[in-house]
């Protein structure tokens, strides 16, 4: 089962709405669902919250170390509470997934993500779970840094928020350790279809010329 949910992002109001903070958005939503509040925890270098689900403690964590030192926070809490890497889910922004989609995976490389890179180093392994929230790619590698540190367009943010809401439905399975079920829920959930245009009385549905 997952005992520690980590959302990755950068601290400070100037980064709050940027693409790199998608992990924070997800864990904030989970905290609301579980009706818990984050509090600063100096020992874990971040904001942490604890919930009890079916008699078991569950931790939520938002490292406040800046992205490239996220592992310092994750490892501190995991080691103190003896949480194994395979019991950790890290939620982060993903360039190679489009906004509105999400992917669950176990292990693998950090693929250049600085937050994952440091978590790998601090845990000494890449064998933990990741929930990859799509933010899309700018199309040019040289623009990646500016892309992740900027706010998404309105429709992109709405798509990411939809993905957050949908993937939260997998939390009971994650908590129960039913990882195949959780993967199926996350990977088969589809963005809502756009609503058809409203027809006025007498409209035959043919678009007007523009």
DSSP H or E segment with residue 156: helix 154-167
Tell me whether residue 20 is one of the annotated catalytic residues.
Answer: yes
Catalytic residue among 20, 92, 113, 120: 20
> Does any domain span residue 197?
no
CA dihedral sign, ordered 55, 48, 91, 159: positive
pTM listed for this prediction: 0.88
Mean pLDDT of the chain: 91
Q: What is the pLDDT of residue 111?
A: 84
> Does any domain span residue 45?
yes
> Does any domain span residue 208?
no
Q: What's the total number of domains in the chain?
A: 1
What CATH number corresponds to the domain at position 40?
3.40.50.1470
Question: What is the per-residue pLDDT across 111-162, written as a single tens digit (0 to 9) for each?
Answer: 889 999 999 999 999 999 999 999 999 999 999 999 999 999 999 999 999 9
Both tokens assigned to 82: 């003896």
Give the E-state strand segments of the chain in sequence order.
4-7, 39-41, 46-53, 56-63, 88-94, 102-106, 129-134
Average pLDDT of span 193-206: 42
Q: Which residues contact 66 (CB under 8 A, 6 or more apart)?
A: 10, 11
Burial of residue 198, with CB atoms counted within 10 A of its CB: 0-12 exposed, 13-18 middle, 19 or more buried = exposed
Task: Tell me the residue range of the domain where 57 lies.
Answer: 4-188
> Does any domain span residue 195?
no
> Does any domain span residue 163?
yes
Q: Are 122 and 74 in contact (CB under 8 A)?
A: yes
> Does any domain span residue 130?
yes
Question: What is the per-residue pLDDT across 57-107, written as a single tens digit (0 to 9) for each?
Answer: 999 999 999 999 999 999 999 999 999 999 999 999 999 999 999 999 999
Give the residue, 56 or 206, on which the prediction is more confident.
56
Q: Are 45 and 130 in contact (CB under 8 A)?
A: no
> Does any domain span residue 206?
no
Burial of residue 66, with CB atoms counted within 10 A of its CB: 0-12 exposed, 13-18 middle, 19 or more buried = middle
**Which pLDDT band holds residue 13 (cuts at 50, 70, 90)?**
very high
């Amino acid at each position: 089962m997952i005992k520690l949910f980590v959302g990755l992002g950068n601290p400070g109001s100037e980064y709050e709405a940027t693409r790199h903070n998608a992990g924070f958005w997800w864990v904030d939503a989970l905290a609301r669902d579980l009706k818990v509040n984050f509090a600063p925890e100096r020992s874990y270098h971040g904001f942490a919250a604890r919930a009890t689900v079916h008699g078991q403690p569950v931790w939520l964590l938002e490292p406040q170390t800046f992205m490239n030192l996220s592992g310092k926070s994750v490892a501190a809490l995991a080691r103190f509470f003896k949480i194994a890497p395979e019991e950790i889910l890290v939620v982060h922004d993903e360039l190679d997934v489009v906004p509105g989609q999400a992917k669950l995976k176990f292990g693998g490389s950090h693929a250049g993500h600085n937050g994952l890179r440091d978590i790998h180093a601090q845990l000494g392994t890449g064998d933990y779970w990741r929930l990859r929230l799509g933010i899309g790619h700018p199309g040019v590698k040289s623009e990646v840094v500016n892309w992740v540190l900027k706010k998404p367009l309105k429709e992109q943010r709405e798509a990411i928020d939809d993905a957050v809401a949908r993937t939260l439905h997998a939390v009971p399975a994650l908590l129960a350790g039913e990882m195949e079920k959780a993967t199926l829920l996350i990977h088969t959930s589809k963005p809502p279809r756009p609503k058809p245009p409203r027809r006025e009385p007498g409209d035959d549905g043919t678009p007007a010329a523009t």
